Structure 1
Amino acid sequence: MKVVSFTFNTFAENTYLLIDEASGATAIVDPGCYAPAEQQELKNYIETQQLKVELLLNTHAHIDHVLGNSFVLSIYPGIPFLLHPADLPTLRAVPTYAGPYGFAGYQPAEPTGELTAGQRVRLGQAELEVRFTPGHAPGHVVFCHPDSQQLVGGDVLFRGSIGRTDLPGGDHATLLRSIRAELLTLPDETTVYPGHGPATTIGAERQSNPFLIS
């Protein structure tokens, strides 16, 4: 599994491509591309690499992670768009505040399917494991590829920090439980690709993250 990242929008959000190198099958995770130049950058990379986009996945539905959903579905019509149902209210609230946040041109998109805890999502010859990690958002999930020890983690765990919990549906204790149960149970060598900032590893955060050291 190859992971390619792009940093988009004014929130410096990380958008990811998960690529099954054996087949070229690709999932787009949390497309934050809003400006036309950002949209073109994502599209050009996919076309240049001759990737086969088969899935649109959201770890959660805060505005910075969903700005490009409609764009992705417009250029890859018919692909499944999957979100945990507990985050549907989060997604459907975005149009109410997109304008004041500077994204008046935001176009909403509705999921075509659901993500659930423990679900296995097929991507070419690879398989992604869905882990349910509420706390930052009610329906937050992460996508784990155990074979390559890689995880796309949204806004759960960052290098030296954790996701904020002061937004609607957030809860600090719940987030810490999610991290300990669903992330810290992974091997130390697991690379974590967060929704903002640089990648880290489970081992590094276990040893030095001030929110996780008891």
Structure 2
Amino acid sequence: MENTYVLYDESKEAIILDPGCYEQAEKDELTDFIESNGLKVVRLINTHCHIDHVFGNSFIKKKYGVSLVIHREDEATLRSVEVYAPAYGFQSFEKTEADEFYEEGDQVKFGNSVLDILFTPGHAPGHVVLVNEEQNICIGGDVLFDGSIGRTDLPGGDFDTLIKSIHEKIFTLGDEVVVYPGHGGTTTVGKEKVSNPFCALSK
């Protein structure tokens, strides 16, 4: 129940974010979509590196010959997955290393599109979200959900840091910006600012 995103525009260049595909059927669904739409995958990005968001990293890198880009603060999170994956029953997990690192203020460019990188730790030490405010898009990972927030009881998580990330980075975006989270359905910045029980702004 993890959301993998394929972003593309009229150029047909595409980026893949947080490939949670582990079973072959999941991999086939993803590649079939890419092939049926005639897309050219140019980059692989993790908003953060918890196990459910990185299952398909190795597969995507091999399949499309692309680089994996993460925030440097989540490199240890990525490397730890191979240690605990068997304990969760994922014996076939294939580890992979990051090829590039992005920082706050960097941009992800593909085709005719540009996404801004915002550093949003709290759920994971190196969590980022990707934003195009002109198109009202925020790929939010596990920071903010419809009526909820990311858990902070995992290694490197911190509740106060997460709330600060939401208030200072996401809630400063336009109210119309649609948040595409790592789990569940979409929401908007405006809705969560007034109704989220964990982080709504007091009036």
TM-score (normalizing by structure 2): 0.97
Contact 2:130/2:139 (<8 A) preserved: yes
Report deviation, 1:18: 1.0
Picking from 112, 122, 137, the partner of 2:109 is: 122
Report deviation, 1:22: 2.2
Q: Indicate yes or no: 2:192 matched with 1:205.
A: yes
**Cα-to-partner distance string for 1:132-160 (whole Å, 9 max, x where unaligned):** 00000000000111221101100000000
C-alpha distance in 2 between matches for 1:102 and 1:45:
28
Counterpart residue identity of residue 103, structure 2: T
Partner of 2:5: 16
**Cα-to-partner distance string for 1:4-35 (whole Å, 9 max, x where unaligned):** xxxxxxxx11100111x220110100000000
Secondary structure, aligned partner of 1:13: coil
Q: Indicate yes or no: 2:71 matched with 1:84.
A: yes
Q: Indicate yes or no: 2:137 matched with 1:150.
A: yes
Counterpart residue identity of residue 93, structure 1: S
Partner of 1:6: none
C-alpha distance in 2 between matches for 1:152 and 1:184:
14
Secondary structure, aligned partner of 1:181: helix
C-alpha distance in 2 between matches for 1:80 and 1:36:
22
Report deviation, 1:203: 0.6
Picking from 6, 15, 19, the partner of 1:27 is: 15
**Cα-to-partner distance string for 1:23-74 (whole Å, 9 max, x where unaligned):** 0110100000000000000000000000110010000000000000000011
Picking from 28, 42, 46, the partner of 1:40 is: 28
Partner of 2:39: 51
Report deviation, 1:75: 0.6
What is the root-mean-square deviation in Å for CA atoms of aligned residues? Answer: 0.7
C-alpha distance in 2 between matches for 1:61 and 1:121:
18
Counterpart residue identity of residue 118, structure 2: R
C-alpha distance in 1 between matches for 2:134 and 2:7:
13
C-alpha distance in 1 between matches for 2:51 and 2:132:
25
**Cα-to-partner distance string for 1:98-117 (whole Å, 9 max, x where unaligned):** 01112110001111100100
C-alpha distance in 2 between matches for 1:152 and 1:182:
13
Partner of 1:163: 150
Partner of 2:63: 75
Counterpart residue identity of residue 102, structure 2: L
Counterpart residue identity of residue 71, structure 1: F
Unaligned runs of 5+ in 1: 1-11
C-alpha distance in 2 between matches for 1:147 and 1:40:
33
C-alpha distance in 2 between matches for 1:181 and 1:80:
30
Secondary structure, aligned partner of 1:169: coil
**Percent identical:** 51
